[in-house]
Chains A and B, each alone.
Chain A
């Protein structure tokens, strides 16, 4: 509850004050929760805790306004708004206004003037309510690095005076693309991070889904590619329980018990994939969602891999990426056999990537045992996580046996 409410309060305060006072909004939110800690702990949780938080946040905001003359001058419009309605409701905390503020903050944070890494960090901190330590853990870096990164990003937003408004219709397409990229990265950070804290990682993914839901609720941003991204994320998230089923480490796709795949999330994914199939443009999210859809069927059929291969072909045409090319090679192997796949794979030369060597090793298993072993050894040296190392060792064992 604290995390949910903190992000709402920060968004609403920041919307009211302007982006220049993002830090002030964050501080007021933080003080509100400290006050809750020092009060509720000893006096008991109030009957309506959320309302209590809003009242305290508003009071803190008002006190801040009274004290800080610089603040007074700079945000006089907001101040008038606060004063005029002082008798009853100072700051609009209706659900609709909270949602609008969050969506507008999302666009402000995904401003083209700051790096995508910082956008993800800011989104996690402000829109999702994560702490610096949690963000640092997920990014496998130190608190200082994250603090510096966020400080610089906030500084930029302040300098350019980013609006906390929805972009005009003329810009919405481009700005929406930036927002989707950030949400996609946020989800990937949770899904593929090497951080071992699976609860935290899943929380990141669920936050990405929540932010996408905000976009889908709004007419201006409810577009087919947003549905496609949502479908992609639901399909991937459906495997969380199966990934978690191991004792300590993540269970990789091939070893998962598919009866643990969350059928409700798969159905939601399918719903959004259908909803995405309108309009004339085909985005990378559409293709990735379709590939993810085929992965929700565990059984290997020719049809499955032919479809996946053709989807990868289209994906690479729209946007080439080494990782997608690598994954395409695996699909090619499933459809055409090792010979053709090896020829394509060896041209990729992704020599710093352990997946690349794992794939080459796998492709060579039935062709040339010596080469298979050599590639898997290279992969083992490059792999960083123990589930990955474990998979490679298992493959090496099969090549020793035969």
Chain B
């Protein structure tokens, strides 16, 4: 059985010719074929491209100059532009959009020989915490198909959890990698803002958006993230700091590592069962040598109001580019230019996207700008400073990824505020530009729960090492979801 193998094991098997990349790729294509109707994890699958890439990878492997990801089948969240392959962003607006270029992330993963199986489902323009806002249908959680997989990178999370790909890219603006990773029982890391290029990553909120890695284990995430990361001259927010070899630093000692537990994240409001599971996980880290320290994040409650002004404000600006003129959806028979703009946008954007555009437009409009956007930008600094205070005392911060396990489809769609509260523990990390990771930490009525670890800027290596060492002692990340492709290769 090779279906639960790690990237390292698969890479080893590929190098030793125990299996070819084409065989591996065909295995995953057939798993997608079997399970995708039920899970809707993929929006598109490009068999020809995948087989061509796998064939090329096999050549590279036979020459003996393979990299860790050479020949490994992965998937991209469908908001990373792929040249010649439709990139929909989960929207009717871009249903027929075929980008003329590749996102830097896609290019980098192509360069190391990873095989792209297809593009994964997401909430429209990455706006959502349940994946129910996709024009292409809601994704189902492989652990319980009546439940959501989380969002917005729900397709990537479900695809990894169901064994439809080895690893997948995701993006995280307010929790969109970490929350679906938690709901689907996998590991996901959102790196520091600027670590991964945003070129060709369709914009939602530019000061918050960051690409990252989703896979079963921290070790697999390390391989993916190190290949995705790095300076890109074409993204002026990309950092020119050298990328650390994350996969080589996984065994760095965590003895004496100080992990802060914010009182505000473990308050009386936290579900008792979630608290118990997190405490068990934290004790395991303590056993490995970490030191748990109680800390304060006094501004924690500001994260939701600040995020729900800044993100919609940036979204309303970013999404003004969809005008029915240059690319994307255009309405039929527009009467005049105003009608062309208005009807193209009204007919092609979904309800959640429209709502956020409206909130953002309002927050930026004359007379309200200072009261909303200006005030939110100032409060954002308080949140960022709060973390910097905490990092004087501790190396990492731990908390829940989400308030509970995956919830039932449809249970929160009519209440926007309840849905927004799903991200209460993840939003602040984006506002402060910090790296955050979610890893499986147990089960709540058969549904996975995630532990979130937050690091200081560019401390991805430490996050991954802590998670990896936890995973050497626990087996939550190796459990198989009831909907799991499996099968011998």
Do these two chains interact? no
Which residues of B approach A to under 8 Å, CB–CB?
none
